[in-house]
Amino acid sequence: MHDDIAKVLIDAETIQAKVRELGERLSRDYAGLNPVLICILKGAVIFAADLVRQLSIPAKLDFMAISSYGSGMRTSGVVRILKDLDRSIEGEHVIIVEDIVDSGLTLSYLLENLKSRQPASLKTCVLLDKPAQRQVPLEPDYVGFDIPDEFVVGYGLDYAENYRHLPYIGVLKPHVYEGVSQ
């Protein structure tokens, strides 16, 4: 285990089993619909890459990169699009793929933004849900794991751009981020 990790919250095998299960559910629910999965960079890249390989139906993949204004570890809710989708999603069945929903501000911004582009349907698939931090009412449609209110990294999730490569979800030792404003 990495030295900065206090404990493993979800091990690699458990994540892979859950991603397989989510892939099977999406394959059933979207059969014949050729959905577009939108991976929100950067955190969701590992999850999305594993998820698409568990689909048994044709699907498209696109990417968005966004940045939230504000410093520290918390999202401000004000979002700027750094990279937009390559293609129009009008009339498409769209699934937003996110690594984590925390305050819910990022996902609610994305839902509003993408809804205005008139997709045929719009749903959300998140690996981790941290309901304790919610600032806006938001229930993701597909959820891998509900997690407690702890600072988690790994499997795409970072702290200061580190730890994304870890194959598990771990709780960061507090001394690593102590002194950082929230």
| Catalytic machinery residues | 102
Residue 124 CB, shortest distance to ligand PRP, in Å, is: 11
Integer-rounded Cα radius of gyration of the chain: 16
158 lies in the site for ligand PRP, by CB under 6 A: yes
Among 36, 40, 48, 95, which residue sits at the site for ligand PRP (rule: CB under 6 A)?
A: 40
Two tokens, residue 115? 């809804």
Check binding of 43 to ligand PRP (CB under 6 A): yes
CA proximity to 64, closest of 90, 32, 30, 41 = 41
Q: Are 14 and 170 in contact (CB under 8 A)?
A: no
Q: Which is nearer to ligand PRP, 4 or 158 (CB)?
A: 158
State which of residues 5, 22, 100, 147 lies at the interface with ligand PRP (CB under 6 A). 100
124 part of the interface to ligand PRP, by CB under 6 A: no
Nearest to 90 by CA among 112, 69, 120: 120
Q: Are 16 and 46 in contact (CB under 8 A)?
A: no
Interacting residues toward ligand PRP by CB under 6 A = 40-44, 68, 75, 98-107, 158
